[in-house]
Structure 1
Amino acid sequence: MHLLPIFLVGLMGSVHCIGMCGGIVGALSSAAPARAPAAALMPDGSGHLRRVIPLHLAGTVPAAAFMQDMVRVLSYNLGRLSSYALAGALAGGIAAGLLRGADVLGWLAPAQTLAYVMTNIVLVLLGLYLTQWWSGMTRLEQLGSGLWARIRPHASRLVPVDTPAKALLLGSLWGWLPCGMVYSALLTALMAGSAARGALTMLAFGAGTLPVLLAAGLSGARLRQLAARPALRRAAGVVVLAFGILGLLRAAEIGGMGIARGWIDVFCISPVHGG
């Protein structure tokens, strides 16, 4: 499986991540000595963030404070990526078992093709969502609201986030936040063919989101304001939309229509192979 497309989906979709996760990552940072106490931003289960618990952040020497910020933000993201990897391993492992059953029944090739087409349709829908041309992806995010309602109280207990250990645990819980973009990546992990490849797929996706969320954690509101610009969000959405369309063209070639050829595979999520 080519990991470049899923990495780029994470990178382009980072503008959405800033809205969902950028608040808590920014709250981890205390680099500005004159900053007023921040507040933890926790999702309310409907995809919106609300202020719930004050974070009492003490000002320190700027250089030392920056290093503390860096460690906390890195710890948070390490926890977040670990939860993605676990989800990917579960998705990839479960799907691998189902594919083995489909192979026994002689349904393997149709099942693989169907999963591949569904994955790229979700990428198209995600691209439309990021461009704000269609908001139906929010319904998909609501599917995980029940699980998040159980996790959120545990996340609240970790603030103030004054140690790397707390940041790591908070990130590992935050990775289960209802998010249509994560769900689309999980559909890709379902195609990976094994638990290990499913985990690797989600790590590639998480690595794509990492640069922007690291920058958001260290630059505060400035980057979040930039990412909120409609033009940037639409540009990122168009890229994700293009990946989905290329994947559907690739699926048409799989079906014998002869639309796509070798070069396009580099930019598409490859169909899973049995074995």
Structure 2
Amino acid sequence: MLGLAGAGHCLGMCGGIAIALRPSSGASRALPIYYHLGRLVSYSALGGLLGGAAAAVDLAAWTLSLRFVAAVLLVAMGLSVLRIWSGISRLEQIGAIIWRWVAPATRPLIPPRYPLQSFLLGSVWGLMPCGLIYSALTWSAATAGSSINGALLMFLFGIGTLPAMLGATLAGQSIEAFFRHPRLRQFIGISLIFAGVWTAYIAASHAEHLLMPPKASGELSPLTLDAQSPPSNHHH
């Protein structure tokens, strides 16, 4: 659902790239499939890496903090889609610093002529600075509990982005115009904000449970102590 809701943002960031990757005359029609498969593998690898790292830190406060960060990022993404507040772009600017080092690796792969080139290009492009990806990664790391689950969640996120991204590759500007319709953009923005508020609500409702230290095996509650205490002998 997060991948679907972020369709407009995906097209805003990568729509031009997706359209440009339409296979040229004489090239295999399956090249876009390999490109987007590489993108999904890149997302899954990042999800597995962060999911495993988050699970290795066995602290309830750490998990809770990740969930609140994910909630804030989702709300920020929704506000950006609604064009109310573009603060999420600052986070993308930080990611752009890393992208400057990665981008040169894409030049020998453009335009892709073979399935392997297309797959590698999609894998590298999965590292593009994107607030939506950061939101999904933070949320998956907070909820996965393992590297396998983290990879699975990010793979499903990538599946959710396929209608917009693969549609832009195959259908061009017509699908881009559809996802940029003002009413659809409003629906997507509100959906992202709702997802963020709901994530924060779930995190807050479980905060006391997650942060409460477990009772020792021999520790008794006051009610138990009262039940075990012998009755007083009033008639003496």
**With structure 1 as the length reference, what TM-score do the two structures score?**
0.71
Secondary structure of 2:109's match?
Answer: coil
Aligned counterpart for 1:209 among listed residues 151, 161, 177 = 161
1:122 Cα shift? 1.5
Structure 1 equivalent of residue 205 of structure 2: 253
Cα distance in 2 for residues equivalent to 1:96 and 1:15: 32
Residues 77, 171 of structure 1: 8 Å contact kept: yes
Structure 1: segments with no counterpart, 5+ residues = 1-7, 31-56, 100-107, 258-270
Residues 6, 188 of structure 2: 8 Å contact kept: yes
Aligned counterpart for 1:160 among listed residues 111, 124, 131 = 111
Bigger Cα displacement from structure 2, 108-117 vs 72-81: 108-117
Secondary structure of 2:22's match?
Answer: coil
1:114 Cα shift? 2.1
Aligned counterpart for 1:226 among listed residues 178, 183, 192 = 178
- The structure with the greater share of residues assigned to helix is 2
- Matches for 1:106-125 after TM superposition, within 5 Å: 108-125=59-76
Residues 132, 234 of structure 1: 8 Å contact kept: no
- Matches for 1:56-67 after TM superposition, within 5 Å: 57-58=24-25
Cα distance in 1 for residues equivalent to 2:202 and 2:53: 25
Structure 1 equivalent of residue 134 of structure 2: 183
Structure 2 equivalent of residue 87 of structure 1: 46
Structure 1 equivalent of residue 20 of structure 2: 27
Aligned residues: 209
Cα distance in 2 for residues equivalent to 1:170 and 1:157: 9
Cα distance in 2 for residues equivalent to 1:89 and 1:255: 25
Cα distance in 2 for residues equivalent to 1:154 and 1:161: 13
Residues 126, 237 of structure 1: 8 Å contact kept: yes
Q: 1:134 corresponds to which letter in structure 2? A: W
Residues 13, 236 of structure 1: 8 Å contact kept: yes
Cα distance in 1 for residues equivalent to 2:9 and 2:84: 14
Structure 2 equivalent of residue 75 of structure 1: 34
1:115 Cα shift? 2.0
Root mean square deviation, CA, Å: 1.9
**With structure 2 as the length reference, what TM-score do the two structures score?**
0.82
- Matches for 1:116-155 after TM superposition, within 5 Å: 116-155=67-106
Percent identity, please. 40
Cα distance in 2 for residues equivalent to 1:173 and 1:184: 19
1:213 Cα shift? 1.2
Residues 80, 172 of structure 1: 8 Å contact kept: yes
Residues 164, 179 of structure 2: 8 Å contact kept: no
Aligned counterpart for 2:2 among listed residues 3, 9, 13 = 9
Cα distance in 1 for residues equivalent to 2:134 and 2:44: 13
Cα distance in 2 for residues equivalent to 1:195 and 1:242: 27
- The structure with the greater share of residues assigned to strand is 1
1:160/1:116 CA distance change after superposition, 3 Å: closer
Cα distance in 1 for residues equivalent to 2:151 and 2:207: 28
Q: 2:117 corresponds to which letter in structure 1? A: K
1:24 Cα shift? 2.0
1:110/1:151 CA distance change after superposition, 3 Å: closer
